[in-house]
Amino acid sequence: MDKKLGKSARVGIRDVAAAVGVSPTTVSHALSGARAINPATRARVLEVAQELGYSPDLRARGLRSSRTFTVGLLSDAIAVTPYAGLIISGAQDAAAEHQSVVLALDSTGDPQRELLGIRTLLDHRVDGLVYARMSHQSVNVPTELDEIPVVLANASSPDLKFSSVVPDEKQIGLDATGHLLSFGHERVGFATVNEDVPSALGREEGYRSAMRAAGIAVNEAWVCAETGDAAGGRKAGRFILDREDRPTAIFCFNDEIAMGVYQAANDLGLRIPEDLSVIGVDDLQLITQALVPTLSTIALPHYQMGHWAVSQLFTQATALNGARIVEKLRCHLVQRESVKAPRS
């Protein structure tokens, strides 16, 4: 650059353009992603912008475009779940790609606090909102959100006007059960939750489909629904395992239930994985890494859901039609020590 910028001077688009040797319009397109430009040029613009300490003047841009360059994220359990950070991180990264920021609020499941959160975000004139849940469930989106674009994360709705992103629950059941079957287990149980929620229904469908595809009939005595915590897992484990014709493996709805199944196995003098193989869902590392042996599990795509939801908000804003989509994300298997071949 020809002129030196003082430490207090604000670096603008023209400064970046001069340093790169391109037009301010090209820099604007590279930073906003509004139009496609040469990838090498865009990479160089982003590199120089970072070196110079460029940051967009969101206030000025907002006055010109009637946008605030903020996205709201409203959830039910940010403060109490270890997964919230991943959803928020994914949302923040996607927002940053569009030179925007995320305002995240937690309703703690309280309808009055949720309404207050909605009003707060609307008062801040957010450009769109991610309506998120920390466990996959069906939701009715509050009518107060009708005036802004909304995308659901880890939630689905009977109202087809909302795009949503969720884990592929049936595939979770297929993958977890298939993993046990691949080790030679034919006597596979299922410890699930006693709730009518999409995650429970989908995972059980996947479990039964995998067993059916393997030509193995499900023994209903090996399927038990209890609460979704360790205490419920212990009850389910005792019900499934305290019999002569017990299974050699159990697919657990989540890692907390798996922890309870570990306790039930210990109560009955069974060793994992020598006498019983166990697989969970969530990859809640406070549990999976602490259990002995460490727990094999299916990791949920929380970061990817947050990223997809915010990206979809911007896609909808520029789309030529109002089509909405439901994205089901495949989860990945984390193999540890809790699964091995059954004894012959």
Mean pLDDT of 36-59: 77
Strand order in the sheet with 188-193: 223-226, 188-193, 249-252, 277-282, 296-299, 332-334
pTM of the model: 0.79
The answer to whether 340 touches 292, Cβ cutoff 8 Å, is no
Say what the pLDDT of residue 228 is. 96
The answer to whether the CB of 136 falls within 8 A of the CB of 199 is: yes
Task: Name the residue among 90, 87, 198 with its Cα closest to residue 139.
Answer: 198
Read off the pLDDT of each residue in 88-92 and give the average, rounded to a whole number. Answer: 93
For the chain, the C-alpha Rg in angstroms (whole number) is 25
Contact between 71 and 5 under an 8 Å Cβ cutoff? The reply is no
In terms of average pLDDT, the best of 138-152, 288-302, 322-336 is 288-302
Quick one: pLDDT at residue 172?
A: 98
Residue 325 backbone dihedrals phi, psi, to 5 degrees: -130, 155
Q: How many helices (H) and strands (E) does the chain have?
A: 12, 12
Who's near 283: CB < 8 A, 6+ residues apart? Answer: 255, 297, 298, 299, 300, 334
pLDDT at 101: 93
Hey, how many other C-beta atoms are within 10 angstroms of the C-beta on 13? 20
128-138 and 150-156 beta bridge pairing: parallel
Mean pLDDT is lowest, of 2-6, 77-81, 141-145, 163-167, for 2-6
Q: Is the pLDDT of residue 3 over 50?
A: no
Residue 6 carries which side chain, given as an amino acid letter?
G
The answer to which of 84-93, 190-199, 234-243, 327-336 has the lowest mean pLDDT is 84-93
> What does the pLDDT read at residue 176?
98
Nearest by Cα to 22 from 51, 48, 59: 48
Instruction: Specify the pLDDT at position 180.
Output: 98
Residue matched to tokens 């939750």? 193
pLDDT for 64: 40
Q: Alpha carbon 114 to chain centroid distance?
A: 20
Mean pLDDT of 164-191: 98
pLDDT at 83 over 90: no
**pLDDT category, 158, cuts 50, 70, 90?**
confident
Neighbours of 111 (CB within 10 A): 9
In the three-class reduction of DSSP (H, G, I as helix; E, B as strand; rest coil), residue 70 is classed as strand
Residue in 100, 90, 99 with CA at minimum distance from that of residue 70: 100
Residue 43 has pLDDT above 90, yes or no: no
* pLDDT mean over 94-104: 92
Report pLDDT for 66. 64
- Across the chain, mean pLDDT equals 88
Taking each helix axis from N to C end, the angle separating 13-20 and 24-32, rounded to the nearest 10 degrees, works out to 110
Q: Which residues are CB-contacts of 240 (< 8 A; sequence separation ≥ 6)?
A: 189, 191, 221, 222, 223, 224, 246, 247, 250, 264
pLDDT interval class at 153 (50, 70, 90): very high
